[in-house]
Chain A
């Protein structure tokens, strides 16, 4: 199952939006991004980066896992996390998450605001499969994970610091892509008492970074 053909490029959606004159009245524009994550990558990532890393010897995170330690770190680095599942009537439903935690055994725990994702959580609880794409606005590196089943659980208290850390990372990513600080802060805002988690063991991984090879499956 491929998310795109080899040799073709895909859109780079996190574009720099230009002047935000219409946001001039919004407070919080002066928020300063984290210097560490402000380092820009002048050269966008390429699908070849992830594909070539898998051709040579690489250490799997755990037996049967499609993840490596490096990929696991990327998933948890404070990037965009978007989701999809399927209802019993075979209609897709889109969702959005805040953060991700990867267990040493290779299972992935996606953390998300419950109210905004009610329909997606329902679909998963009714047996829907899951797709999760992780994208870094700075260089457009994107990885999609898929699993035929997932389960919905409550977020744990120890998830909160990790959600906060990753949301700050994503906020700074957006600011480094010229989004207004007030927008970036609101985009990742969450209510700590209304969080859920989706746990799944990724069966397949695909590189979705725009460029030749986009959509290719990463060999496990």
Chain B
């Protein structure tokens, strides 16, 4: 028996090669079947999917013992695990991770809609035997993921602003991890939704597009605060479908009018979503996808979790560093250069339209409306984040890192539209409002619409 740990056998647990599961009943009659999922839980535990109350399940409950043979898909190295049943989980990170994988497998094997994960059977691994077999040489990996994670974290540490952090992250995913299609999303805890703040590798950026917690691979990763991977993409976990379903459930045409389409590959084969956490708090989600099946493995998951963890800590640090900066009045208001633009604000969801075009809603919409209103009343163009945080009218969520993210979102949306309104960053914590056209502000959500002309 060779002493090996489960950590180094994770390649055999990816599901490339079916595993052999042996159990026995109380009378000593064995049962053997092929299984597609032996899920790595930690160094001492694996989980098997419980889908049907079959002979295997009866045996596990009766004797609590199992023997599993696993095969490495690259080297054909074969190991036998001796398992002791611990418990069945019907919710939580392990369950959701297995459920997503199973959905992918079901879709891939023509069993979509039939497979349903009833539980994740957790087993303690009491022995690991290396079995003699003809092995192939271990292929040279395309990249060193640990090195890529380390260098990405170093680059992140040099970033000074939230949007810079996001840009550095997604650029590094491309350069260092070979991930060409990625997104970063921030959570809005009050609404239970995530919104896209940065993306790479898509025809449209999708900045501002949203997904609800628990919906699609991104929403599940956020809700469970756990990485979720799918090696064979399935419509069940598509964010596009999730967003559309969400809109349908809300039953509003309005939601379609204010819905920013999600970016994303037309036919992704693999996806991974990892939560951006800090001290257990959910800050957002890092998402990547590929047209290649089984593109992301356990090691990719670890590397991206390292990057996301560092990113989360740095986002929190930025927030703590954001000192109060005194307000300044504008002395030089740029003269309007274009025809008057109607800016409408709908209080019901704080959506803001420039002319007939939807721009933004929610917290970012409220912020923009406040800035424009203040600018119209006093001529101010310079603001700081501290005053926004303290403004009760903005009803900001408690975790104020959302404010920075909302400002990034707002600035990017304005820039993408090439609008007559721009927000420019100044030194830390301060920003400047640029308005290059006459604006007509119309508060369309109040009892009596208020009009003012700049």
Contact = CB atoms under 8 A, between A and B. Distances in A.
Contact of B111 (A9, A83, A186): A9
Interface string B73-98: 11010101010000000000000000
Interface of A: 1-5, 8-26, 44, 80, 82-86, 90-96, 113, 115-116, 119, 128-133, 135, 142, 144, 146, 148, 182-183, 186-187, 189, 208, 210, 214-215
A25 B293 contact: no
A84 B23 contact: yes
A12 B111 contact: yes
Contacts of A131: 22, 29-32
B387 to A, nearest CB: 53
Given A8-B54, A9-B114, A24-B139, A84 B293 contact: no
B439 to A, nearest CB: 53
B283 to A, nearest CB: 32
A115 B129 CA distance: 12
A144 B294 CA distance: 30
Interface of B: 15-25, 28-37, 49, 51-56, 59, 63, 65-69, 71, 73-74, 76, 78, 80, 82, 105, 108-111, 114-115, 129, 131-137, 139-142, 231-232, 269, 292-294
Contacts of A133: 32-34
Contacts of B55: 1-4, 215
Contacts of B51: 10-11
Contacts of A19: 292-294
A116 to B, nearest CB: 5
A82 B294 contact: no
B54 A84 contact: no
A19 to B, nearest CB: 5
A150 B114 CA distance: 37
Nearest to B114: A9
A95 B53 CA distance: 24
A12 B109 contact: yes
B36 A11 contact: yes
B64 to A, nearest CB: 10
A113 B141 CA distance: 31
Contact of A84 (B24, B49, B134): B24
A215 B65 CA distance: 20
Given A15-B105, A93-B67, A116-B131, A215 B32 contact: no
B140 A94 contact: no
B115 A9 contact: yes
Nearest to B297: A22
B3 to A, nearest CB: 17
A176 B292 CA distance: 19
Nearest to B80: A94
25 contacts: A3-B33, A10-B52, A11-B51, A12-B36, A12-B111, A13-B34, A19-B292, A26-B139, A82-B33, A84-B24, A85-B30, A86-B29, A91-B24, A91-B63, A91-B67, A92-B30, A92-B66, A94-B32, A94-B80, A96-B20, A128-B28, A135-B34, A183-B76, A187-B17, A189-B133
